[in-house]
Chain A
């Protein structure tokens, strides 16, 4: 990771639209949004409003679905990630992602966390160091340090999810996208992950998709509200939850739909 903290937003989304080639439906409609350093932005909205699609456009995962067409720009430190000479592989190293369900690979805890470094053929010492650091940052170290070579599949759901976070952190991304990371977990595990997120936002820009307004209230410092593919409103968490400007936002946070 670079020492020099950049000025301005780390990630900036500029008139982003996503259209389905099959149904011609606009899944995301003209979204513009900046993600400054040291921020945790919660993306909330009713089911099917495009939250998952939105975060997937931020590290070019959308292009794995051939039926989607993305227009507009997403700039990472000023560089448009959709430019033709940018390879998605490099984008994804800088902008990591954690999925809804834990997706540990069928290998040991250590090898899971080391995955992103192994493919770069880092030295063993460097891998050891980075894996330890990542596991510590993900808040998993104390639980697995005695059995790093045990199968990752033997961990509990919550531990697996934190391992996925550690795995993403090990390659030292500047941005981490989390798509409903706790929706498959019990309250205790959810709490651990929320603590982890609060710690991480000091040095990683976090984008958290959640359908759970109270989770957004607990961890985020900014909330973006999506509705049918539009960015309805974005503001500080306190403002959004207490003084929403848009009636749709108000309806959503007071739990009248979603």
Chain B
């Protein structure tokens, strides 16, 4: 009875772990990896195990080539710039709202950032595709092309009028990661004790100097976790990005070109893979790669932040 009482609670408590395990297990089974270490035949009989070629640059189902490097590169190419943009904008907003704006103003302005966190990604997608993309196609991209084409990667093929591609992808990801970075950084900055803030000012420092030399160093962990969790969001974003990225299976020829990320390629490719077990296996293995990167980033980010705020942001 005693023993039973101790074991029974573990059954429901292990549900989340079991679900994660189920996801990993199923993807392992359906991927080429299963050939390596399972004695019994895998469910979909992947005809091959991909080996290191899997990290090659050529994805061509017709020729049985399954290299996912293009998509890994695409993921970083969109997520990294978006992360930096939203990290700096978020830092700026957080500093403004912590140190510069009067309370009445922040009470009015802060909810906009919260609201940003609540919009579903597909809504961002359709808005970006219908409303923002033409603007990128007619204004932003041509302007960048005209002025910066000397920079490698910014010249070459002129941007199309459609406006979809890398720049708008980065734009959408920036907006989507912004609430995460802003709220986490703001929370970290506001956790600086009021006494410390005041003694900085009492030494004749300006607000900026106290911010830069005391508050920001004090918030390093919070900022780092904002970076990691913001990156996690940008790296695994699927549907909004799939709508604006102008999905392509090769490396982008220049800044304005389309590309694909791991998540968007997986999302748009599953249809065509039906019935082709190599294809399905390659996609599952891709899913494992995406999962490994996302989980690492997310767990690290969460370890660092000792606050309740992450829990409040929808989607974290």
Q: In the complex, A touching B, CB below 8 Å? A: yes
- Residues from 38 to 68 in B contacting A, C-beta threshold 8 Å: none
Q: Is B195 positioned at the interface, with any CB of A under 8 Å from its CB?
A: yes
Could you tell me if A116 and B204 are in contact, using CB atoms closer than 8 angstroms? yes
- Residues from 172 to 211 in B contacting A, C-beta threshold 8 Å: 193, 195-196, 198-206, 209
Interface string of B97-124 (1 = CB under 8 A from A): 0000011000000000000000000000
- Measured in the bound complex, the distance between the Cα atoms of B199 and A88 in whole Å is 13
Q: Which of A64, A90, A115 has the most CB of B within 10 A?
A: A115
Q: Is A25 positioned at the interface, with any CB of B under 8 Å from its CB?
A: no
- Measured in the bound complex, the distance between the Cα atoms of B206 and A92 in whole Å is 10
Q: Is B213 positioned at the interface, with any CB of A under 8 Å from its CB?
A: yes
- Measured in the bound complex, the distance between the Cα atoms of B209 and A66 in whole Å is 21
Could you tell me if B198 and A64 are in contact, using CB atoms closer than 8 angstroms? yes
Contact A105/B198 with A90-B204, A167-B203 known, Cβ cut-off 8 Å: no
Could you tell me if A115 and B195 are in contact, using CB atoms closer than 8 angstroms? no
> How many residues on chain A are close to B (CB under 8 Å)?
27
Q: Which of A96, A106, A107 contacts B202 (CB 8 A)?
A: A96
Q: Which residues of A lie under 8 Å from residue B206 when comparing CB positions?
A: 89, 119
Q: Which residues of A lie under 8 Å from residue B217 when comparing CB positions?
A: 106-107
Could you tell me if B196 and A105 are in contact, using CB atoms closer than 8 angstroms? yes
Q: Which residues of A lie under 8 Å from residue B214 when comparing CB positions?
A: 105-106
- Measured in the bound complex, the distance between the Cα atoms of B198 and A97 in whole Å is 9
- Measured in the bound complex, the distance between the Cα atoms of B198 and A168 in whole Å is 13
The closest CB in chain A to the CB of B197 belongs to A64
Q: Which residues of A lie under 8 Å from residue B302 when comparing CB positions?
A: none
Could you tell me if A66 and B103 are in contact, using CB atoms closer than 8 angstroms? yes
- Measured in the bound complex, the distance between the Cα atoms of B198 and A101 in whole Å is 12
- Measured in the bound complex, the distance between the Cα atoms of B204 and A89 in whole Å is 5
The closest CB in chain A to the CB of B104 belongs to A66
- Measured in the bound complex, the distance between the Cα atoms of B124 and A159 in whole Å is 55
Q: Which residues of B lie under 8 Å from residue A15 when comparing CB positions?
A: none
Minimum CB–CB distance from A149 to chain B (whole Å) comes to 15
Could you tell me if B201 and A64 are in contact, using CB atoms closer than 8 angstroms? yes
- Measured in the bound complex, the distance between the Cα atoms of B104 and A9 in whole Å is 40
Contact A168/B103 with A103-B195, A106-B217, A107-B217 known, Cβ cut-off 8 Å: no
Minimum CB–CB distance from B194 to chain A (whole Å) comes to 9
Could you tell me if A97 and B199 are in contact, using CB atoms closer than 8 angstroms? yes
Could you tell me if B201 and A115 are in contact, using CB atoms closer than 8 angstroms? no
- Measured in the bound complex, the distance between the Cα atoms of B202 and A164 in whole Å is 11
Minimum CB–CB distance from A178 to chain B (whole Å) comes to 11
- Measured in the bound complex, the distance between the Cα atoms of B202 and A96 in whole Å is 6
- 17 extra interface residue pairs, beta carbon distance < 8 Å, beyond A66-B103, A93-B203: A89-B205, A89-B206, A90-B204, A91-B204, A92-B201, A92-B202, A92-B204, A93-B204, A99-B198, A99-B202, A103-B199, A106-B218, A115-B203, A119-B206, A119-B213, A167-B199, A167-B203
Q: Could you list 20 A-B pairs, sorted by A, with CB under 8 Å?
A: A61-B198, A64-B201, A66-B102, A66-B103, A89-B204, A89-B205, A89-B206, A90-B204, A91-B204, A92-B202, A92-B203, A96-B202, A96-B203, A96-B204, A106-B217, A116-B203, A116-B204, A167-B199, A168-B202, A171-B204
